[in-house]
Every structure is written in C-alpha cells, then in structure tokens.
Amino acid sequence: MLFGKRDLRESFERQAEKVFPAVLGTALRLTRSREDAEDLAQEAIVRAYDAYDRFDGTNFKAWMLRIVTNLYINRYRQRQRGPLLGSLEEEGAIEPVSCESELPDRLLFDNAVGAEIEDALAKVPEDFRMAVILSDIEGLSYQEIADATNVPIGTVRSRLARGRSILRRALETYAIKEGYLKQGADE
Amino acid sequence: MIDPMDLHAFVDGELSSNEADAVKTSMATSPSVAREVEAIRNLKVGLRANVVMPDSADAWKACTRRLDELDKTKRIESLVGRFAPAMCATLFVGILLVGRFSHHSDGRNYSGPDLARAFGTLSTQKATPNGLSKDMARWEDWLIHQSKTSTPDHLTLRGVKTGFIDGIPVTQLSARDQNGDFKIYEVRQPIVLDGMQPLQGHADLQMGMLNGENCVVRQQGQSTLLIVGDRNFEDLATVAAQVTIR
C-alpha cells in the first residue's frame, strides 16, 4: 500500500515537474502577480496530486492547465471588482490580425523584448487573454481550451480571434511608441 | 466568403480537411486572406517564441514541500482511520481499568459520597435471646473500658448497626457525650477515603468530610476506624484517642 503511494507520488512529481513552468507561466499571465501566481500554481499542484488517481492519462499538461484555469476562474477572478472587459466585447465584428500597410510581423517581435510582449499580452482582456495563452503559448487544442475555461468551442474560436487581434494592436502601439514603427504606418 | 474565425482555426490546425482546402483555395485567390493567415501564423509563432519563461525552481521546491506535508497528513489520517476503532476500544478499556483501579482496585478506596451511601445501608442490631449480639457486646465492652477511664456518664451508647460494604464487615456505633451525638464506624479492613488529609498534631489520624460532617480516620491493625460528628476535628481526635478496638 505504502509502496503504491510512493510510486504514485514519484509518477506525479515526474510529470508535474515537466509542466510546472507552463503552470506557473499561465498562472503569472492570468494573475499578473508573482505572489498570486505562485499561490495559484502551488494550489493547482496540490489539487492535481490529490486527484491524480482520477487522471485519465491522456494529456497531463492540458489537465494541469485546466486545473489552474478553473482555480483562477473560481477563486482569483471572484476577487476582482467590476465587469470583465472580455465579457463586454464578445459580440461584434472580428478585426483582422493583419494590417493594411503590410507591416512585416517580424518587426513586432524582433524589436520587443519578452517583458514588453508580456506587457502587450497583459493588455488583452482577460477572457481573450486566457484563450490566447492556452492556445498560442501552451499549445492546447480548442477542445482542451473549452474544457479548461468551461465555454463552448465556438466561444473559444471567437475569443482567440478577438484576442489575437487585440494583441496585435497592442504590439503595434508599443512599436510605434518605442519608434520601431512610424506613426500612421498602419493607417 | 471565408469566416475570419476559420482562418484562425486553419492556422491552429482545427479545421477538417475539406474546410482547410476551402481556406487554401481562398488564400490562393485572395491576397488579403493569405496576408491574414500569414499574420495570424506569425503572431502565434512570435508570441510562443518570445514570451518570458518564469523562473520556477523555487516555486517548484515549495510545491514539493506542500506535497510532502500532504503525504504526511494522509499517512497519519490513514493510520488513524485504520486503527481508530482499536485505539478507541483500547482507550475505553484503559479508562475503565484506571477508573476501577483508582476507585476500587483492592476494595479499599472510596469517595466520601460512596462510603456515606454504603453506611446508609447498615441495619440495626438487636439483642439476641441469649443476650447482646456479638457486636453490641463488643461495644458495650468498649464503653465499660471508657467508663474506667472517664466519668461513668461521660459517654452513652445509643445504638449499633452492622452490615457489609463490598463484602467488608462494618459496624456503626451511635454515641453521645457532653458535646452531642457522633458516630464511630469500624470497617474491618484497611480502606482509604478520598480527599483525606493528615490531621496536624495527630500522626495516626487523617481528617476530612463524610456526608457533610467532619470525620477523622485511623488505621488500626486490619481495621479502619472512622469517627464522624458535627464538631471540630480536635474533639473528634479526642474521642478517637479514647477508642481502642479490641
């Protein structure tokens, strides 16, 4: 019995350690606070360990990120006051990601350091940011994102499209502000 | 007309082959669609390649410490859960044994109320056709002994009761002297009465309360003598000094 538990712990730790940077990174991008992110990640690890015997064995990373996201939605987001920006902008036309000036996308990333990209990402409303993080940074499928965020796949598609569009605009704004792009280059 | 969300789904590899083919056809005929797909792809790739990976080593160590604590707690809970009935039963039996041992371990340790209740069950001795009962005769003998050392009317025997407490023979003598009534109990086995304390100036006596009255106790041979009365301990000690069980 004890050996079984030790094996379980070792197996869990082996898998969890591999995905922990993604867990902490996601927590950090959601909470935007190192302290909250560490608390959230730690709580997610404990919850996952507690439920590890019920893990279906398919995609551990997606399972962990679902726990983190659910914890964040249920706990941390409840602390926030006022309406969520993301919820207000679910409807309406989807802006294209590309711009008419045919601005080379590499310019956006070549000149910005990681922290600046993180800042631009932080400007994306939360629900959209969550979808972008889980898809573009962590590589989850639409179904996995839908499971993690408890929304239909159609909503995931919509949030991703809107989130990427807003992120692109935020990166452009940053590039213009820093002088990498000329004002009005994309107008 | 291609749905803009389909272009994102195409880049994400979430379209069926038919849907993907439709997007590819649209890309071939429309530069704006091709540009949009390229922009989405570049954003996706650029984002993934440029985000900051947080330093997670210390946070992971904190997690493993939490897991250690969780394991420890689970082990204890499991142990307690598995052995709880046995532990409870052992504790219960232990309490019973300790209680019995400290109370009646050898039939000689009593609380004041228990002993007073037991004394209440003693029955009055009557004279036999052949004269006094053995106990009455013995106490009469004691009174005679008293009369030799005190004034004859100093002490009066008012009655004798006998009986058993926990199988131990007990005799109760009700007597009166110039200070009033009092009782002498002779328990024919050494007993200990809870809460008794040494009586200063009387090495062989202990003092305490029995049934709301003062009481002094003396061990004498294989018997215990209790003198109980509504008077001070010194008076009771004086009576005790005069009494000898023969």
pLDDT digits (tens, 9 = 90+) for A117-155: 888 899 899 999 999 999 999 999 999 999 999 999 999
Q: B128: which DSSP letter? A: B
Interval B15-34 mean pLDDT: 93
CA B10 – CA B25 distance, rounded (Å):
12
Q: Which residue, among B82, B78, B59, has the nearest Cα to A5 in the 3D structure? A: B78
The minimal CB distance from B40 to the residues A37, A97, A114 is found for A97
Residue A35 Cα, gap to closest chain B Cα (Å) = 10
Question: Which CATH class, in words, describes the domain spanning A2-79?
Answer: mainly alpha
Q: Which helix (H) or strand (E) holds B127?
A: none
Work out the average pLDDT over B162-172: 86
* pLDDT above 50: residue A3: no
Task: Judge whether residue B76 has pLDDT over 80.
Answer: yes
pLDDT at B124: 81
Per DSSP, helices labelled H in A113-152 are: 114-122, 126-132, 142-149
Going A150 to A153 to A154 to A159, the CA torsion angle's sign is positive
Q: In this structure, what token pair is assigned to residue A74? A: 């249920």
| % of residues, chain B, pLDDT over 90 | 25
Residue A92 pLDDT class (50, 70, 90 cuts)? low
- Beta strands of B10-100 (E only): which ranges? none
Interface membership of B203 toward A (CB under 8 Å): no
Q: Where are the domains of chain A?
A: 2-79, 85-178
Tokens 């990402």 correspond to A121
Contact between chains at B36 and A46 (C-beta distance less than 8 A): no
Do residues A1 and A14 touch, judged by C-beta distance below 8 A? no
Q: Per CATH, is A85-178 categorized as 1.10.10.10? A: yes
In the predicted model, what is the mean pLDDT of residues A70-79? 81
User: How far apart (Å, rounded) are the C-alpha atoms in residues B134 and A46?
Assistant: 82
The candidate with the shortest Cα–Cα distance to A139, out of A25, A45, A32, A36, is A25
**Contacting residues of A for B63, CB less than 8 Å apart:** 16, 20, 41-42, 45-46
CB contact under 8 A, A109 and B46: yes
pLDDT at position A185, please? 46
pLDDT bracket for residue B84 (50, 70, 90): confident
Q: Model confidence over A93-122: pLDDT tens digits?
A: 777 777 655 556 666 666 666 788 888 899
Whole-number Å distance between alpha carbons of A78 and A72: 9
Domains of chain B (ranges; CATH) run: 4-50 (no CATH), 53-105 (no CATH), 115-242 (3.30.200.100)
Structure tokens at B188: 């024919």
B137 vs B129, residue with greater confidence: B137
Residue in A closest to B34 by C-alpha: A98
